[in-house]
A and B are shown apart, each in its own frame.
Chain A
């Protein structure tokens, strides 16, 4: 199926550093979502974006919905060890929450104390 291009695939950083990851698509999306998945668990929603240009924060996390509606980024500031996990972007083309999500390949984040 269709996938978003998410980068980087993996990141190894020191505690306290900032992190940035992004997703791009050839298709327009009406909603961008960012999820975090811990090993053996389901994804947990971090931030949801519903309007082009929207910039939303959730604690140390900030995400933006690109103006072209074909991209989004997620920033994590002052990383801590519990930020370790896999981060996925997801886009939805439809206008309702019943629409299918298209997922990026994921970014594996490792934080060294």
Chain B
């Protein structure tokens, strides 16, 4: 059974800092790895999706990497802004290709 763990559970940084969020998964046989953002009381917004054959994906100030052999993914946020404050979730999709196994998330607070 796939277990997805996110560290740290919470993070507070001053505006402008670069930061890294970590995600680990126990079963390396994944189809893809996705990062989502969840704002309080809102739904999930997809940020980045890394297919199993890829090593990283980039979108603006966000960069996500995937190392299947070690069961790890990282989300790098450059030059953080207060608007980045949210909970960040990673999710691993199994080879069946449709269900997602989520971590509990990292709650990020970026202070002005």
Decide whether A and B are members of one complex. Answer: no
